Structure 1
């Protein structure tokens, strides 16, 4: 038997097992005004969340949602514009960062 058809047959046989995987959904925070982007902080320090209107907040386990973080540039939220995503900088110890 040729490798490609065999691979397709084996993949089809595995699909029912994959569809039975347990999925758990947990609401960490609700009532956010247009949350748009998230960045997960290292070592379970929480999640940075951008709100389309121009706020950046931090959610922490056991503490919940912070007040807006200062220093975010002013944004114009109109149409499809606004404060959209957030990403963590990769800082290496050799450049004075914490890793």
Structure 2
């Protein structure tokens, strides 16, 4: 009994990598005319992707509408060397501040 369980566990462990390799990844270009995209934040419920650009722009991309104009009200960024929006890390949306600008 113990050998059977050990054999089943060993066979399962051998088959798991094969199942992972069988999964196919698909690469799709969503937008190719951005200058220095810096960070991405995927909005909930597939509502779009917020992205910061190195020079300080904040943009929204939506599957059905494409790339929206730059979002206003973003603080000025001094982009020099590897600087820019790097300190922002990732753009975030605060539901409690919706509509507050």
Q: Same fold (TM over 0.5)?
A: yes
- The aligned residue for residue 13 of structure 1 is 15
- The aligned residue for residue 47 of structure 2 is 45
**1:11: Cα distance to partner?**
3.4
TM-score for the superposition, normalised by structure 1: 0.74
The structure with more radius of gyration: 2
2:94 corresponds to which of 73, 89, 94: 89
Aligned length: 89
Give the superposed CA RMSD.
2.4
TM-score for the superposition, normalised by structure 2: 0.72
For structure 2, the residue ranges without an aligned partner over 5 or more in a row are 3-7
Normalized per residue, the structure richer in helix is 2
2:77 corresponds to which of 75, 78, 98: 75
